[in-house]
Structure formats: C-alpha cells, structure tokens
Amino acid sequence: MMLPDLATTKLVLSRSALALLATTLPLFAQGAWIDAKGTPQPDTESMRSAGDFGVQIVLTADEAQFRRAWNSQKTPPKLSTTNNARVGDTVSAMLVFHGCTPARTGNCDVTAEFEVDEPNGKKVAAGSGPLWSSKPMPPGMLQLGLASLAIGFDKYDAPGDYKVTAKVKDKVSGHAISVTARLNLSR
C-alpha cells in the first residue's frame, strides 16, 4: 500500500477500496440538508450535518470529470457517481460541504481524515489533509472540497463490500462529522 503525499490535497491509496450510498446531491443547504425544492432531508450514512455545517461523501469513477462538471455553469451539474467497481478500476471519494465557520481571518479551516474498511473487516488508515482553507461559500451554496481519496483496485484486492469513511472537522466551530460511502468490488 502506498501512503499519500500529504503536501497535496489529493489523497491516494492503492490496494484498498471505497464505497457509496449517495444518490443525488442536494442542491442547496441551510442549517441541515435540503433538496432543490426546499424540503428538509434527514441525515443518512453518507450525508450528515451538525448545526449549519454539513458534509456529504460521494464516489465517482472519474474524478477529473466530476470536478469539471462541478465547476461548469450548469445548474444542477450532471455528476457521475458510482457504488460499484471492478478489479483494475480506480474510484475517488469526493466531499461536498456547506456552512463552514470562518476564523477572524475570514477563512475556514476544515480537514478530512479517510479510513477504508475492507471486506475482511480490516480497517486501513487512508490519510488526511485540508478540505477547505478559504472563504466560506455564501449561505445556501455547496462547496466541493479540495481533498479527495483515490483508490485503485488490483488483483490482490478481495471482491466484496468496501466502506470508506471520512471524518471531517471544522476546526473553527469545532463541529465534527463522520460520513460513510459503500462500494462493491467485483472481478
């Protein structure tokens, strides 16, 4: 297993895997998660909130395309997510959040720590890094975090159900949220 270079915001883990439960991203957030029609959404394993701070974990087979779609002018963006992978694939865990608290400098300080649970029950620490250290988005807007976790699957990875957990902390407000995504790996 290769440990990530934490000097970058992209975290990489080989020979382990991820997971997803996220179906679609809510488009706007205030306090708790709400959908595009303004209907409050309950917390789930992959989408949680604490006060005004909320985090969702999403898995994608193409991180570059996901970021391009996120940064496009389309509203809502067409985001490609997955909860299945095959040996030879790479899957990335992306974190979307809202409501970080700025420090006196005006910038937020949000970090993420990743862990992967393999089908055999083994837990693998997958690295940590800064998720966001800039100004917060305006109220009601979501932000795609800078940190991500990319996992490549090879012939040594056991098929089965994998789980990736991101422990996200807003260091200014003290809010901490743990979100989990599930993934099935097949040969």
What gap in Å lies between CA 15 and CA 154, rounded to an integer? 6
pLDDT interval class at 20 (50, 70, 90): very low
Q: Exposed e or buried b for every residue in 149-187, given b needs 16+ CB within 10 A?
A: bbbbbeeebeeeebbbbbebbbbbbebebebbbbbbbee
Q: Is 1 contained in some domain?
A: no
Residue 23 clears pLDDT 70, i.e. is over it: no
What gap in Å lies between CA 65 and CA 17, rounded to an integer? 20
Residue 132 clears pLDDT 90, i.e. is over it: yes
Q: Is 4 contained in some domain?
A: no
Q: Is 31 contained in some domain?
A: yes
**Residue 179 belongs to a domain with what CATH number?**
2.60.40.3880
pLDDT interval class at 111 (50, 70, 90): very high
What pTM, to 2 d.p., does this model score? Answer: 0.81
DSSP 142: -
DSSP 40: B
Q: Is 21 contained in some domain?
A: yes
Q: Is 2 contained in some domain?
A: no
Q: According to the model, what pLDDT value does residue 139 have?
A: 85
pLDDT interval class at 34 (50, 70, 90): confident
Q: Which residues span the domain enclosing 125?
A: 10-186
Which of the two residues, 19 and 140, has the higher pLDDT score? 140
Q: Is 56 contained in some domain?
A: yes
Question: Looking at residues 68-89, what average pLDDT do you find?
Answer: 90
Number of domains in the chain: 1
Task: List the structure tokens of 165.
Answer: 């957990």
